[in-house]
Structure 1
């Protein structure tokens, strides 16, 4: 991300705002709890952009959240090219339909659950884990907008029950979050019970987004990333598979009762 144009803009804006406030790097550093040399390293691009630093900078310089907003744009710029079209479709969706056979869908993950899932990739540094986590949490902001999309998520019961003793506290928090989300009028969470041993969805996760124009676009996840699906015939297949998967899931009330039963079984 550090070489992206938006990241360069953040550093330029930071320096401009600091100088306008008539603060030296040392003076500014004391206010944001960083040393003057660290401030210099950030402005010169020798130190990664730090969320805590930029949040404090916004507060000290009274920017109205400008630097953090630019950071979110920079993080989006840093996403793989194959993922950017999907992010755009997701942000402007009026409806979202998501099936996940192995994980809680990203838009419904708690911060702790998401961090644990991302950290499974031991090739990622701690900084990269936190960067990816921040992007995932930012994506969830679409669900709290005034014009939030209608989200229908279907998950497997086995996903809820995958919790050893060390993971159980985290999963209790995660299932409680699912229950809270499902109380929102625009979010529905449905569970496919373990008794349904075989169905078309087990071929892999997918998400569908419907835009303002009524058109649908899909997203398929795999080990190397993902694929955006926009050919009419391919989208039609995903829509048909969605109907099949959705028909295997429990209704809203029964899904809620099952999630509560899972939590009770751990206590």
Structure 2
């Protein structure tokens, strides 16, 4: 596949920067010291987790003695990738499991994650049966690694549950968490709601639900995730998922629009305590139903 999308270009840039560092015989900490930055930032740049600045690339070239045509080509690559990423960060393509690993890599450098999901339970909070149904149902591009994607989604959930994970705030629509996955074993919805309560019980995780009869200023058109990174020099990133592609934005105007939408959805949502009570009521109602599903 040609390196033609913004994310492809950023990955190629990371590979080139790593190659120049290794060719110069420098370790990550040694390069970081020469550039006046941190080893963790060097690693994140090489692995395309964060977006470097053009000044970072110039300093990298200086520290690794990249000159002449090689330096010109490196800066051209950086300008092509980073200029596009400043307003339209990426169209994320690839395997289903690869998407889960991309998300786990972002979790490692995130300070806070805010997730608005109107149509289903967010991926990290899903049970295996529910995740399998969600991934299979949205797999319109024909990817075949569904089971690996489910396993990676479960692993991501385990990591997010850990105390040292980033703050995770989720706002969900009641209609969304009521989704009934077709073909799932009996009890899948109840199992999923109980799992949601487990996550909500973690001190660094907040779950708020917008009830069915809530009045909304804006329609819940699409789910999105806003990530605030630990590095204060990195702008927030917004990720959106459609049936065909995953997209990410970091431009100030786009992020501001999502911030406003988040605030309006937060105004309509129940507080965490009332949200937990609503989910428990759903569990009781489900348990009293005829088929338990």
Q: TM-score, normalised by structure 2?
A: 0.58
- Alignment equivalent of 2:112, drawn from 95, 105, 122: 95
Asked whether the 8 Å contact 2:225–2:240 carries over to 1, the reply is: yes
The corresponding residue for 1:160 is 177
Q: Which moved more, 1:177-186 or 1:85-94?
A: 85-94
Residues 111 and 241 of structure 1, relative CA distance in 2, 3 Å threshold = same
Alignment map for 1:233-252 (pairs within 5 Å): 233-252=253-272
Asked whether the 8 Å contact 2:116–2:172 carries over to 1, the reply is: yes
The corresponding residue for 2:206 is 188
Residues 133 and 80 of structure 1, relative CA distance in 2, 3 Å threshold = closer
The corresponding residue for 1:108 is 125
- 2:280 aligned with 1:263: no
For 1:163 and 1:131, locate their aligned partners in 2 and report how far apart those are by CA, in whole Å. 23
1:96-137: CA deviation from partner (whole Å, max 9, x where unpaired):
100111110001111111012122257688962102212222
1:79-98: CA deviation from partner (whole Å, max 9, x where unpaired):
69988765533331111100
Q: CA offset at residue 164 of structure 1?
A: 8.0
The corresponding residue for 1:221 is 241
- 2:227 aligned with 1:209: yes
Mark the runs of 5 or more structure 2 residues left unpaired by the alignment.
1-93, 288-293
1:94 counterpart SS class: strand
The corresponding residue for 1:33 is none
Q: TM-score, normalised by structure 1?
A: 0.63
1:132-185: CA deviation from partner (whole Å, max 9, x where unpaired):
212222322431344211111011111233338975500100000111111110
1:200 counterpart SS class: coil
1:184 counterpart SS class: coil
**Matched residues, number:** 192
2:169 counterpart SS class: strand
Alignment map for 1:69-148 (pairs within 5 Å): 87-120=104-137, 128-148=145-165
Q: CA offset at residue 239 of structure 1?
A: 1.2
RMSD: 3.0
Mark the runs of 5 or more structure 1 residues left unpaired by the alignment.
1-76
Residues 123 and 95 of structure 1, relative CA distance in 2, 3 Å threshold = closer
